[in-house]
C-alpha cells in the first residue's frame, strides 16, 4: 500500500432468489473483475448468496445448508485473489439463525459478523426468521471460524462490517467499530426503493462517514431480488469523511459494467483527521465487546484514480464557488465589522497597490462599513507609487477607490526612500533586498501614521500563501492592525475578486472592469523598476514559484500532515499536463525550505479571521518553533528521486 491509498468496491450482482450456485457464480465473476483492478476490498449485498427476499424459505434446512456450502465454495474459487471479499448469507449457529456477513481472503473465511439490529416494521419482517446478535466477544463456530463483532486488521487497513439496519438505528455498531480503530465501514444492505428514500440514504451514508471520520462503503441489493412486494435499485454509495466519492446508477445492475462501483480511499487522510480531533476517542484494545481479528494481506500499490484538484482551496462547481465566495466575504467582513464595533472605530486605512490582495481587503472593508452603516468616505485608500509602480496598477487602484466612493490619497514614497538610502548609506542603483524592503517599510510607516492621525485602523492585505512562503517584508507589509486576508490563499483571492467583478457587472460596469483587470494583472510587489515600455518587471511567481503549486503543497501539508513525497506524487496526478516532474519537485523543495525558514514572520502576525480549515495563526491553528529543522521534510522529498 503506497501513501495510504486503497481501492474499494461495492458490487450488486444479478441475483436469482434461492439459487445459490447462480449467485456464487455472479459473485465470483465480479470479484475477479475487481481484483483485476487492484481492489483491496469488495463488498456484496445483504444475504446475497441466497437473495434477501427468500421469505419463509429461510426456514428450510436445504437452503441454509446450501448457503453454507456456497460460502466455502466461494472461498475456494477466489483463493487465488488478493482481494478481501465480503458477502452476506443466512447462517445457523447454536440453534439460531443469523443474518451475517462473511469476510473472505485468499480462500480463508477470516470471520463472520452477524447483524445486530433486525427490522420488523412497515415492509420488513426479518424477526420472523433472524435473531439479533448482541453478545460480547468472539464465538468460534464448529468450522473454527470467528463469529461476532470484530474489527479486521490487515496491511495497515482496519475495517469493520455492519448490515443494513445497523446503519439506520440511533446507535450504530459502526460507532464502536471506529472507536476500536476501524477506518472503513462496509455495509451489506438490501434497502428497498420508495419515493424520496434515495436522497435520504445518500445523506445518511455521507453524514455517517463524516461523523465517524471514516470511509463508508454501502452496497445495496438490486435487480433480481423478488418484486412481489418491493423494488430494489442497487443504490451503492462510497463516501469518505462527508464526501461522496462514488455512487451507482439505480436500477442499472443488470449491466455488469454498472454493477460495480469503485473508489480510492485515502487512509492517511482519515488518520490525519482523527489525530487532529481530540474529541475522536479511540480504544484499540478491543473494548466494548469488540475483538480485533488480524490476518495477513498485502494490497497493491495503486496510483489513485480519484480526482485530485489542482486548487484544493477552491470548489470545482461554479454554483458552489459562488456560494463559497459569498460566505467567505461575509466571514471576512464580519470579523472586521466586529473589531471596528468593539473599539468604536469609524475609519480604516488601506494601502492600495492595484493588486489582488489590497483589492480584496478593500472589498471586505466596504462590506464591513456598509454593514455598520458607516460612510464609505471613512475608508481611506492610499496609493503610494514608488520605483516599480506601473501606470496599470496605479490607475486600477484609483479607479476602484473612486467607484466605491472611498477617500483616496496619493503619497509618493520615492523622495522619502531616497533620503533613507542616504541616511543608511545605500546605493540606489543596487537593487537588492534592502532596496526592496525599504520601500515596503516606508509604505507601512505611512499607513500607520495616517491611521494615528485619523483615529483609524490599518487593514492588512497579506494573504495565507504569502504567510506560508514568508513572501512579505518583516515589519513592512507583514504588519497591520487587522489582517482580513490572513487565511485566504492566493488561488482563492483571485476568485473572490473575480466574484466581486461579476457581482458588480450590471450595477457598476466601470468598477467591474477595473476589478477584472486586477484579476488579469501579474502578481508583483512592484519594488523593482518597470521595463522600458512601462510594464511590470518583477513577477512574483517567476521568483518564488507558481502559487497554485504552493497552495497545493500548503493545503496537504498543513491540513493533513502528509509527507512531502506523498504530496509530490499527488501533485504529479493533479498537475499532469501543466507541470513536469522536475518543475513540481523544484517548487516543492522551495516551499519546504521557505516554510521552515520564515516561521518567525508567522509568529507575530496581526489578528485576523479564520475562514477555512487551514490557518497559520500562532494563536489558533499553527504553533511552530521558528528555529525548527527542515531536514526531515527535505530528506523525505528526496526519496522520490531514489
Question: What is the distance, to the nearest Å, from the Cα of residue 337 to the centroid of all Cα atoms in its chain?
Answer: 29
Record the cell numbers describing residue 197, joined without a space.
428514500
Alpha carbon distance 225, 308 (integer Å): 37
Question: What is the distance, to the nearest Å, from the Cα of residue 546 to the centroid of all Cα atoms in its chain?
Answer: 21
Query: How many other C-beta atoms lie within 10 A of the C-beta of residue 604?
Result: 12
Alpha carbon distance 18, 29 (integer Å): 19
Comparing CA positions, the residue from 113, 106, 58, 105 lying closest to residue 88 is 113
Instruction: Catalogue the active-site residues.
Output: 46, 115, 164
Please, are residues 384 and 411 in contact by the beta-carbon 8 Å criterion?
yes
Query: How many other C-beta atoms lie within 10 A of the C-beta of residue 405?
Result: 13
Q: Which residue has the cell 450595477?
A: 507
205 Rama sector, left if φ>0, alpha if ψ -120 to 50, beta otherwise: alpha
* Helices 490-503, 356-372: crossing angle, 10 deg rounding: 60
Question: What is the distance, to the nearest Å, from the Cα of residue 372 to the centroid of all Cα atoms in its chain?
Answer: 34
Residues 6+ apart with CB under 8 A from 519: 356, 494, 497, 498, 501
Alpha carbon distance 176, 453 (integer Å): 61
Query: How many other C-beta atoms lie within 10 A of the C-beta of residue 421?
Result: 16
Compute the C-alpha angle 633/637/642, nearest 5°: 140
Greatest distance between any 2 Cα atoms in the chain? 101
* Phi and psi at residue 393, to the nearest 5°: -70, -40
Residues 6+ apart with CB under 8 A from 290: 149, 150, 151, 176, 177, 180
Alpha carbon distance 152, 303 (integer Å): 24
Residues 235, 237, 242, 245: what is their CA dihedral angle, to the nearest 10 degrees? -130
Comparing CA positions, the residue from 270, 186, 196 lying closest to residue 236 is 186
Comparing CA positions, the residue from 102, 67, 99, 100 lying closest to residue 85 is 102
Amino acid at each position: 500500500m503506497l501513501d495510504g491509498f486503497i481501492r474499494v468496491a461495492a458490487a450488486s450482482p444479478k441475483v436469482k432468489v434461492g439459487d445459490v450456485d447462480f449467485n456464487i457464480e455472479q459473485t465470483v465473476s465480479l470479484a475477479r473483475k475487481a481484483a483485476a483492478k487492484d481492489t483491496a476490498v469488495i463488498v456484496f449485498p445483504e444475504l446475497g448468496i441466497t437473495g434477501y427476499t427468500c421469505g419463509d424459505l429461510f426456514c428450510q434446512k436445504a437452503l441454509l445448508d446450501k448457503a453454507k456450502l456456497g460460502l466455502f465454495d466461494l472461498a475456494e474459487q477466489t483463493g487465488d485473489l488478493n482481494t478481501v471479499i465480503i458477502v452476506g448469507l443466512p447462517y445457523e449457529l447454536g440453534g439460531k439463525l443469523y443474518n451475517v456477513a462473511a469476510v473472505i481472503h485468499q480462500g480463508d473465511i477470516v470471520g463472520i459478523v452477524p447483524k445486530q439490529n433486525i427490522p420488523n416494521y412497515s415492509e420488513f419482517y426479518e424477526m420472523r426468521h433472524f435473531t439479533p446478535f448482541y453478545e460480547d466477544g468472539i464465538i468460534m463456530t464448529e468450522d473454527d471460524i470467528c463469529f461476532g463483532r470484530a474489527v479486521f486488521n490487515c496491511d495497515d487497513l482496519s475495517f469493520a462490517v455492519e448490515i443494513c439496519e445497523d446503519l439506520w438505528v440511533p446507535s450504530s455498531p459502526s460507532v464502536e467499530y471506529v472507536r476500536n480503530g476501524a477506518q472503513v465501514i462496509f455495509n451489506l444492505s438490501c434497502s428497498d426503493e420508495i419515493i424520496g428514500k434515495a436522497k435520504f440514504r445518500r445523506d445518511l451514508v455521507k453524514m455517517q462517514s463524516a461523523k465517524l471520520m471514516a470511509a463508508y462503503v454501502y452496497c445495496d441489493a438490486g435487480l433480481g431480488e423478488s418484486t412481489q412486494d418491493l423494488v430494489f435499485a442497487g443504490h451503492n454509495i462510497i463516501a469518505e469523511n462527508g464526501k461522496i466519492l462514488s455512487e451507482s446508477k439505480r436500477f442499472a445492475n443488470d449491466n455488469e459494467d454498472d454493477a460495480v462501483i469503485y473508489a480510492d480511499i485515502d487512509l492517511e487522510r482519515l488518520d490525519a483527521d482523527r489525530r487532529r480531533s481530540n474529541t475522536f476517542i479511540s480504544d484499540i484494545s478491543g473494548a466494548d465487546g469488540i475483538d480485533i481479528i488480524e490476518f495477513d494481506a498485502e494490497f497493491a500499490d495503486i496510483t489513485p484514480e480519484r480526482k485530485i484538484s489542482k486548487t484544493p482551496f477552491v470548489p470545482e462547481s461554479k454554483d458552489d464557488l459562488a456560494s463559497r465566495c459569498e460566505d467567505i466575504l461575509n466571514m471576512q467582513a464580519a470579523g472586521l465589522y466586529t473589531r471596528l464595533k468593539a473599539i468604536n472605530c469609524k475609519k480604516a486605512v488601506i494601502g492600495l497597490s492595484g493588486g489582488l490582495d489590497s483589492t480584496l481587503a478593500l472589498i471586505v472593508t466596504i462590506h464591513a462599513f456598509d454593514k455598520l452603516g458607516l460612510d464609505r468616505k471613512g475608508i481611506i485608500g492610499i496609493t503610494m507609487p514608488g520605483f516599480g509602480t506601473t501606470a496599470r496598477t496605479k490607475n486600477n487602484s484609483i479607479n476602484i477607490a473612486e467607484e466605491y466612493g472611498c477617500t483616496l490619497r496619493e503619497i509618493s514614497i520615492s523622495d522619502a526612500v531616497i533620503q533613507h538610502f542616504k541616511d543608511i548609506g545605500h546605493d540606489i542603483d543596487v537593487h537588492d533586498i534592502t532596496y526592496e524592503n525599504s520601500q515596503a517599510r516606508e509604505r507601512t510607516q505611512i499607513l500607520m501614521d495616517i491611521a494615528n492621525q485619523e483615529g483609524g485602523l490599518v487593514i492588512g492585505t497579506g494573504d495565507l500563501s504569502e504567510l506560508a512562503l514568508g513572501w512579505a517584508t518583516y515589519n513592512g507589509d507583514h504588519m497591520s492592525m487587522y489582517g482580513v486576508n490572513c487565511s485566504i490563499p492566493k488561488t482563492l483571492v483571485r476568485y473572490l475578486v473575480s466574484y466581486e467583478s461579476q457581482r458588480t457587472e450590471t450595477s457598476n460596469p466601470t468598477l467591474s472592469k477595473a476589478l477584472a483587470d486586477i484579476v488579469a494583472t501579474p502578481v508583483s510587489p512592484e519594488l523593482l523598476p518597470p521595463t522600458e515600455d512601462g510594464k511590470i518587471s518583477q513577477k512574483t511567481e517567476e521568483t518564488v514559484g507558481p502559487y497554485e503549486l504552493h497552495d497545493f503543497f500548503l493545503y496537504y501539508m498543513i491540513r493533513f500532515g502528509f509527507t512531502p513525497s506523498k504530496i509530490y506524487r499527488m501533485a504529479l496526478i493533479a498537475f499532469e499536463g501543466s507541470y513536469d516532474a522536475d518543475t513540481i519537485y523544484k517548487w516543492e523543495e522551495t516551499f519546504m525550505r521557505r516554510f521552515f525558514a520564515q516561521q518567525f514572520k508567522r509568529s507575530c502576525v496581526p489578528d485576523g479571521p479564520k475562514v477555512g480549515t487551514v490557518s497559520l495563526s500562532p494563536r489558533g491553528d499553527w504553533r511552530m518553533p521558528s528555529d525548527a529543522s527542515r531536514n526531515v521534510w527535505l530528506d523525505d522529498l528526496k526519496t522520490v528521486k531514489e
